[in-house]
Amino acid sequence: MNKITDLMDLKNNSPFIKIMIAETEVEIQVFFSMNCCKVFFECRDNGDSFRTAFAKSIFHMYKQEKSNEDLFTENDFIGITDTELILILDTILAQDNRVKLEYEKIDCPNVYEKFYIANKEVLKSATAGISMSLKRMSRTFELQNKPLITSISSAISNILVPTESLSGLASTASKMTHYDFTSFQSVLNSVPKLQLPELTTVLSNIPKPIFDIQTIFYPLHNMMENLHSINDNLAHRLHDSIMQMSEVTQKIISSIDFSLLIYRKEWSEQRETLLRYGWFYSDELPEELVNSIHIKREELSIEDVDKIIVDYFRQNRCEALKKMVKRWETLDYFHCRERIFHEALVNHSRKYYNSSVTLLTIHTEGIITDFVRTNLKNPRFKVQKAIEDIKIELNEKEDVSIYEFEVYSDVIERIEEAFNENFNHADPDTASNKSRHKIAHGHAYEIENEVNSLKRFLYLNEIHCLFSRLSNLE
C-alpha cells in the first residue's frame, strides 16, 4: 500500500510496439499521458470524429520523443489502419486497469468512442474526493469571511481617512463578496484533463499537503502595516477581524481529511480485480484472500474466484457469514427482519438457494424504502426514487472516505441494475434471474446457486454499513 512510483519510471517502463505508418514500419513507445488525453478531448470537442481525435492524440504521444520530430505528420497518423490504431489502444488499456475496467463496461460498437467515455468516467470518479474537500472549504470560508467583510465596510464608512492616501479603498472593500471556491470546484469536475495512472502517481506522493500559512496571509499582514502608517484607528479596527480570519483558515486547513485526495493505486487495482470477476471490495473479505486473487488474476477464471470466496464463507459452517448477519441488528429496519434473515441464512447454509435469494431480494427493497421513510422522512413508493435519495445523501456526507464512497457506489449500482432491468409480463423469460421484478412476480424458478445467494448477503451488509454512516451510528 505504501509503494511510491515515480512518473518517469512509468514512462521509461512503458512498452514499445511496432506499427506501420505511411508504409513504413516504426517502433513507438506507448505512454498515453495527461497531455495526450487533453489532445484527445480537445480534438473531439472541436468536431473531429472519435477516430480522428484518437489518432491525433497518438501523434502527440509520438512527438514527445525528440528523436521523432518531423519524421511523420499528423495526417500520416490519421491514415493509420484501424488494426494498428486498435493495437495502440489495447496497449494503453493494458497499462491502466482503471480505464480498462470502465472501457469494458461500455456497450458501444465504436472502440474510440468507448475509450473517450471511459476516460471521462475515470476523471469523474478520480475528482470526487477533491470536490468533496473543496465543497467543505467553500462552505466554511463563506460563513467565516462575512464578519470580516462587514467589519471592513463598517470601519471604512465610519472613519475619516485622507482621500489622497486611500483613494478607492472604500469602493473596493464594498464590492468584496467571498472566496469563490465553488467555481473552482465546478472547473475540476468539468475539465477532462486527468488520467490514471498519472493521477495515482502524483497523489500517492502527497501524504498530507503542507501549507505555509504565513505566506498565504502575507498580503493581509502587509496591508496592516501600511494602514498603520496612514491611520492607526482604521488599522486597529481591522486587526481583530483579519487575525480571526487567519486563525479560522489555519484550523480549516488542518482539519481537512486529505485522505480524500489520495487515491491508493494498490487498493484501486484490487477493487478493479474483484469487479472484473463479478464481486466487489468488502471488508468482510480477508486482506490475504483479496491479495491472493489479485496476484493470480492472470491465471484465475471467474469460476476459480467464485469458489475461493464461496469456500471462505462456507468454512466452519458459515461462521463468517453468521457473524456478519448478527451485526445487522443495530438498525431497527434490519432488526425487525431478524427472523427473515435467520431463515435466509439457514436456507443458504443448507443449500436451498432459491429460498435465500428470494427472501433477500424482496427485503432489500423493504429496507431501502424503510430507511428513506424513517431517516430521511421522505416516503417513496418506488425503490428507484428511494435509491436516488440515498445517492444524494451519500454525496453530501462529508466524512465518507473515497474508499467507502467507491464501495458503496459499486453496491448501489448492482442493486439498481436488478431493479431497473426491463421485465415484460408477456415474455418474462427474457429477463435475467437477477431481475427484482422477475423474482418478485414469481417467474424466477430456475435453480439458483451459492454465488448469487452469497452476493445478496454481502450487498445487504454494505447497505447496513452505509445506512449506519448516514444515520451517524458509526
CA 225 to chain centre: 45
**Rounded distance, CA 474 to CA 41, Å?**
42
Strand pairing class (16-21; 24-29): antiparallel
Mean pLDDT across 102-109: 90
Task: Please answer whether residues 342 and 351 qualify as being in contact, where contact means their C-beta atoms are separated by less than 8 angstroms.
Answer: no
Lowest mean pLDDT among 14-28, 249-263, 265-279: 249-263
The residue among 462, 458, 438, 424 whose CA lies nearest residue 354 is 438
Question: What does the pLDDT read at residue 70?
Answer: 63
Largest CA distance in the chain: 90
**Rounded distance, CA 161 to CA 303, Å?**
81
Checking if the pLDDT of 446 tops 60, the result is yes
Question: What does the pLDDT read at residue 3?
Answer: 40
Checking if the pLDDT of 5 tops 70, the result is no
Span 18-73, pLDDT tens digits: 999 988 898 888 988 878 888 999 999 999 999 999 999 999 888 877 565 567 88
Output the CA torsion sign for 339, 343, 349, 350: positive
Question: What does the pLDDT read at residue 205?
Answer: 45
Going from N- to C-terminal start, the domains of the chain cover: 7-124, 128-261, 265-470
Checking if the pLDDT of 353 tops 70, the result is yes
Span 202-242, pLDDT tens digits: 444 444 444 444 554 455 555 555 545 445 555 555 566 66
Mean pLDDT across 245-257: 57
Question: What does the pLDDT read at residue 140?
Answer: 53
Kindly report the number of other CB atoms within 10 A of residue 132's CB atom. 24
CA atoms within 13 A on the CB side of 209: 18
**Rg (alpha carbons) of the chain, rounded to whole number:** 28
Question: What does the pLDDT read at residue 117?
Answer: 92
> Rounded to the nearest 5°, which phi and psi values hold at 256?
-70, 135
Mean pLDDT across 87-107: 88
Give the pLDDT band (50/70/90) at residue 385: confident
Question: What does the pLDDT read at residue 272?
Answer: 85
State the alpha helices, DSSP H only, in 96-208: 97-105, 111-126, 128-158, 169-175, 181-190, 198-204
Query: Which three cell numbers, joined as nine digits, stand for 126?
Result: 478520480
Checking if the pLDDT of 331 tops 80, the result is yes
Lowest mean pLDDT among 81-85, 280-284, 361-365: 280-284
Lowest mean pLDDT among 178-187, 244-253, 298-307: 178-187
Question: What does the pLDDT read at residue 66?
Answer: 55
- Evaluate if pTM is beyond 0.85: no
User: To the nearest whole number, what is the mean pLDDT of the chain?
Assistant: 75
**Rounded distance, CA 396 to CA 389, Å?**
11
